[in-house]
Amino acid sequence: MQKRYIFGVDMGGTTIKNGLFTVDGKLLEQWEIPTRVIENGSHILDDITETIMKKAATNNIKIDDVEGIGIGIPGPVGEDGTVYCCVNVGWGIFNIADELYKRTGVCVRADNDANIATLGELWKGAGSGCSNIVMITIGTGVGGGIVTNGKILHGYKGVAGEIGHMIVVDNETVKCSCGRCGCLQQYSSATGIVKGAKQMLAEGNADSVLRKCENLTAKDVCNAAIFGDKIGMQVMDRACWLLGKALAQISCIVTPEVFVIGGGLSKAGMFLVDSIQKYYQEYVFHASSDVGFVLAELGNDAGIYGAAKLFIE
């Protein structure tokens, strides 16, 4: 008999987001639990099992009626469910699908968090109706997910979509967290934007509203740029130039129907999209000049949708 429910789980470094779905894709309920990173994250799978079992019981759902648990992980995941390393929560290499199945008795599919967010946006968000999308998440870093022909592109060992680590500036001397110099996320992530603004403020005496900000954020820099502040504009212009150029290169390689822009910085809305797209058009190969640019629509819920989608054809 056809089972009726799916759980979608999106694991972050601070909280674990959970969704209870019907097998035809309706979100019935969503909730969060904290991520217990103590003792190398060794309690996390038990916590997820407990919260799922409780939610099932509260809703009078028999575990036999659960089709599967989809889960997104903040690190590379192999197609068989092997987690290769998950720095944020202290995990080493193990098979999360097997381990969570042992605890719950339910079939488990796992994937990288950026990938499932992309799949979520394709299914129920900004990419709906498309089969080929690339999602760029601009937050602490610059992350990416690629869906081609409706399927997540994993690449060898699950490391496809590392858009933030494309080297886009030559002769950089400051190192990225990955150890190399000149990665996209050094300039175009929220962190990179703040760094860039601080550097520019320190190097010159130009008037800027940013001098008044005590705890400078990327949002401040973005707002300053929107209101014509010179330093704000210069920093955002560089961030968007490098993003537009990198996306044009991505278009030469995988050619999506749309780019979906998400992450904290995407709250800057069309200002950000328009600036990126302006530079994209300068660099793009003519056959990809009509690729669309849209803002992500599901916000922090993209992950639970995408995780559930792992069980929906």
User: Using CB under 8 A as the criterion, which residues of the chain lie in contact with a copy of itself when the complex forms?
Assistant: 76, 132, 144, 146, 148-149, 151, 153-157, 159-163, 165-167, 178-180, 245, 248-250, 252-257, 283, 285-288, 291
Least CB distance to a copy of itself at residue 155 (A): 3
Least CB distance to a copy of itself at residue 73 (A): 15
Least CB distance to a copy of itself at residue 118 (A): 13
Least CB distance to a copy of itself at residue 302 (A): 20
The smaller minimum CB distance to a copy of itself, of residues 14 and 177, is found at 177
* 3-state SS track over 251-294: HHHCCCCEEEEECHHHHHCHHHHHHHHHHHHHHCCHHHCCCEEE
The smaller minimum CB distance to a copy of itself, of residues 183 and 268, is found at 183
d(CA 140, CA 64): 40
d(CA 8, CA 116): 10
Least CB distance to a copy of itself at residue 197 (A): 23
The smaller minimum CB distance to a copy of itself, of residues 159 and 206, is found at 159
The smaller minimum CB distance to a copy of itself, of residues 18 and 185, is found at 185
| Residues in CB range of 300: below 8 A, 6 or more apart | 17
The smaller minimum CB distance to a copy of itself, of residues 249 and 300, is found at 249
Least CB distance to a copy of itself at residue 173 (A): 14
Least CB distance to a copy of itself at residue 145 (A): 11
The smaller minimum CB distance to a copy of itself, of residues 109 and 154, is found at 154
d(CA 36, CA 57): 23
Least CB distance to a copy of itself at residue 36 (A): 27
The smaller minimum CB distance to a copy of itself, of residues 60 and 149, is found at 149
| Residues paired with 104 in a beta bridge | none
| Residues in CB range of 63: below 8 A, 6 or more apart | 53, 56, 104, 105, 106
The smaller minimum CB distance to a copy of itself, of residues 202 and 253, is found at 253
The smaller minimum CB distance to a copy of itself, of residues 161 and 303, is found at 161
Least CB distance to a copy of itself at residue 170 (A): 9
